[in-house]
Amino acid sequence: MIKLRSMRFLGMIVVLVIVLLLDSCEKEETPAPPIGEFQNAMFVVNEGNFTAGNASLTYYNYKTSAVSQQVFYRINGAPLGDVANSITFDENSIYIVVNNSHVVYKINAVTGKYQAKTTGLTSPRYILKIDNQRALVSDLYENNLTLINTENMEIISRIALGRTSENLLKYGNEIFITNWSAFQQDKPNNMIMIVDSENLQVTDSTEVGMEPNSMVLDKNNHLWVLCSGGYLNEEVPTLWKIDPENKDVLMRLEFPDLNSSPDNLHINKTGDTLYYLNKNVYRMAISTTQLPDNYFVRAGENDNFYALGVSPGSDVYVTDANDYTRNGTVYRYTPGGVLVQKFEAGIAPGDIGFID
């Protein structure tokens, strides 16, 4: 059985029929926020359909519950592009990586206005700022990272990895990179690559399970890596706990079902509780030594839980991609797992980000 969650990007290929009629919202949609009013913001990056160019950005005010769709288009008068993959922030700007448009947009974090963009990328996935003026961009197909100047978003150089790259996490002077995709490489995709943030050279690596898809750092500065087990169920999924100082593996936990496909590992603001998706939502204390037996939030019979986010206040947001052709839904749960609200997003709602 092919893992559905492992096909996050490839699954878009088979959805070429675009349904433009929007279902009715759970609550009436509000207009795009006035310039300068991105406050208490939760953003949802809606991937859209592969080759359709219908990716979008949803804004949700988690204090007023106001929802605005197509925010990038409404403010900038241009579509976001083809398969938006991820969103990240710094003090002044928002960066949105649009995979199949081969671009990273930089917009103002207060106004949402376009500032600059990076072009000439192959298949960008995530962006990580490594200092005040530079960032690294991972890539689904390239065997290197791309270093960009975040002032003008121009490419500075490429950093050879020898493998494709996905998630990026900085700890001290080191950058940890998951090798999630097996595209364009003749090596197993089961490695965490480590790059020195000063000289931008590969200095080390740690072998983990196949298809490491997400990672977080906890309050004790331990690195947690979630591995799906491979595109074709080559091995059982695993969760790894690693000491980023000496790269020692502190714990390796196996999932009981070969056909399961866990991903979307996140951690709360206090760094003591992990969350991940495996059809349902699961929660796990970092102090435990075994995987949870029971779900935190159960997916409904017709739900297709797709992405996960944990707010600064520890509310848990889960997106439902429905059938990938019509608008998705976002569910908001309290830290105790109680559903407090749901609202509409765009097609294939994916990565979630928060601004306090």
Q: Which residue's entry shows tokens 């969760």?
A: 239
Q: Is the dihedral of CA 192, 196, 202, 203 positive or negative?
A: negative
Mean pLDDT of the chain: 91
Tokens of 167: 């998630």
Q: Is the dihedral of CA 267, 347, 102, 189 positive or negative?
A: positive
pLDDT, residue 46, reads: 98
Residue 23 lies in a domain: no
d(CA 178, CA 204) in angstroms, rounded, equals 13
Residue 35 lies in a domain: no
Question: What φ, ψ does residue 5 adopt, rounded to 5°?
Answer: -70, -25
d(CA 178, CA 162) in angstroms, rounded, equals 12
**Number of Cα atoms under 13 Å in the Cβ half of residue 172:** 11
Top-confidence residue, 14 or 255:
255
Residue 30 lies in a domain: no
Rounded to an integer, the average pLDDT of 299-327 is: 96
List, for residues 128-146, the tens digit of each pLDDT value. Answer: 999 999 999 999 999 999 9
- Prediction pTM value: 0.90
Residue 31 lies in a domain: no
CATH number for the domain that contains residue 308: 2.130.10.10
User: How many Cβ atoms are within 10 Å of 147's Cβ, its own excluded?
Assistant: 16
pLDDT of residue 16 exceeding 60: no
Range of the domain at 276: 5-17+40-355
Tokens of 94: 């928002």
One-letter amino acid for residue 343 of the chain: F
pLDDT, residue 40, reads: 87
Residue 131 lies in a domain: yes
Tokens of 1: 């059985």
List, for residues 61-120, the tens digit of each pLDDT value. Answer: 999 999 999 999 999 999 999 999 999 999 999 999 999 999 999 999 989 999 999 999
Tokens of 228: 């799906």
pLDDT of residue 304 exceeding 60: yes
d(CA 138, CA 125) in angstroms, rounded, equals 5
Strands 124-129 and 134-139: antiparallel
Tokens of 42: 């939760």
Number of domains in the chain: 1
d(CA 188, CA 230) in angstroms, rounded, equals 10
Residue 108 lies in a domain: yes
First to last CA, the chain: 41
**What is the per-residue burial (b if ≥16 Cβ within 10 Å, else e) of 12-21?**
beebeeeeee
pLDDT, residue 38, reads: 81
pLDDT, residue 9, reads: 43
Residue 65 lies in a domain: yes
pLDDT band at 230 (very low <50, low <70, confident <90, very high): very high
Residue 28 lies in a domain: no
Top-confidence residue, 66 or 9:
66
